[in-house]
């Protein structure tokens, strides 16, 4: 009975008891992302305007290829930035010294400011969590990796005092802010059955005593700590997404093969 996270290239996968298991972020791909459609069009248009002269000198086919690649280059750069910030933040959270690339100095300064001003007391970092499924929709199976669990002091939200609590926290570096997927992600982590510390042993999530969940939005110009909802409504939404994800492969068979056309009837006099 083991839980494993396997890293490969820029991605990773999970195994529960030797069987491949869906990751939380993969399940969240089922959430409609209309904003990404707008982002893709805007990014391509911005690239065209910023590189107008160079594109004008390129062959039409190369021009088209560069425009098609523009949004993926932006996406991949953002993903690399997020991965690097996560790695640096993991070290900073436990008091390690880190080498900071110049292009990430603003993000690291912002996260350091969060640590100095909020003064979280880390309980665990980068925990692999698992939920063994027993029902396709009510109890889905999945794994994930939680960024940080920490005890935070009393805080204030719009002037209202928030009592000291143990928080499940996820670090986000997107320029556009925090979306509902973060609530779904943290809800799934919080409601997982067990976690592992990198060995073969499993420990109940409940033993961590998580009381609240939130996202740390780390930017080059500052940070925000944003609470998220992980109540039953959010959990129900996630479970339905997990069911949809589990049916994705089967849905490919919904469209059948074309019917063979009947033989043509010859006209008679």
pLDDT for res 94: 67
Strand-strand pairing, 142-152 and 165-172: antiparallel
Q: Which of 163, 181, 164, 161 is nearest to 172 (CA)?
A: 181
CB 170 within 8 A of CB 82: no
Secondary structure class of 39 (helix, strand, coil)? helix
For residue 135, which phi and psi values (nearest 5 degrees)? -150, 140
What angle is formed at CA 23 by the lines to CA 22 and CA 27, rounded to 5 degrees? 80
Three-state secondary-structure class, residue 256 = coil
How many angstroms separate the Cα of 207 from the Cα of each of 37, 160, 192? 41, 29, 12
The tens-digit pLDDT sequence of the chain (269 residues) is 588 888 776 678 888 888 889 999 999 999 887 777 777 888 888 889 998 988 888 888 988 888 888 887 766 676 677 677 767 776 777 677 777 778 778 888 888 899 889 999 999 988 999 998 876 667 899 999 999 999 999 999 888 999 999 999 999 988 788 899 999 999 999 999 999 987 778 999 999 999 999 999 999 899 999 999 999 999 999 999 999 998 888 888 899 889 998 888 877 65
**168 and 182 in contact (C-beta within 8 Å)?**
no
3-30+82-250: CATH class: alpha beta
- The DSSP symbol for 102 reads G
Per DSSP, 208 falls in state: G
Residue 2: predicted pLDDT: 82
Residue 233 has phi, psi (to 5 degrees) of -65, -40
Nearest Cα to Cα of residue 143 among 27, 9, 7: 27
Q: Cβ-count burial of 156 within 10 angstroms (0-12 exposed, 13-18 middle, 19+ buried)?
A: exposed
Domain boundaries, the chain: 3-30+82-250
With beta carbons less than 8 A apart as the criterion, state whether 187 and 234 touch.
Answer: yes
Give dist(CA 123, CA 94) in Å, integer: 9
Q: Where are the alpha helices (DSSP H) in the chain?
A: 24-27, 34-50, 52-57, 60-93, 105-118, 180-190, 232-246, 248-251
């Amino acid at each position: 009975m083991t839980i494993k996270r396997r890293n490969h290239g820029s991605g990773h996968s999970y195994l529960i008891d030797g069987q491949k298991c869906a990751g939380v972020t993969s399940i969240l791909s089922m959430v409609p992302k209309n904003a990404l459609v707008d982002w893709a069009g805007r990014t391509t248009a911005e690239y065209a305007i910023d590189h107008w002269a160079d594109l004008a000198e390129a062959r039409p086919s190369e021009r088209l290829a560069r425009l098609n690649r523009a949004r993926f280059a932006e996406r991949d750069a953002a993903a690399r930035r997020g991965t690097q910030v996560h790695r640096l933040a993991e070290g900073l959270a436990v008091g390690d010294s880190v080498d900071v690339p110049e292009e990430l100095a603003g993000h690291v300064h912002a996260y350091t400011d969060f640590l100095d001003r909020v003064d979280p007391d880390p309980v665990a970092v980068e925990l692999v969590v698992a939920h063994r499924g027993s029902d396709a929709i009510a109890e889905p199976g999945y794994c994930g990796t939680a960024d940080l669990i920490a005890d935070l002091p009393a805080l204030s939200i719009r002037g209202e005092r928030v009592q000291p609590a143990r928080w499940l926290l996820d670090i986000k570096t997107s320029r556009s802010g925090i979306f509902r997927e973060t609530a779904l992600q943290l809800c799934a982590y919080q409601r997982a059955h067990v976690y592992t510390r990198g060995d073969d042993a499993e420990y109940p999530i409940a033993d961590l005593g998580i009381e609240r969940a939130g996202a740390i939005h780390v930017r080059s110009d500052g940070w925000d700590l944003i609470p998220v909802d992980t109540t039953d409504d959010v959990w129900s939404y996630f479970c339905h997404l997990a069911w949809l994800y589990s049916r994705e492969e089967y849905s490919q068979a919904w469209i059948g093969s074309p019917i063979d056309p009947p033989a043509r009837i010859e006209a008679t006099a």
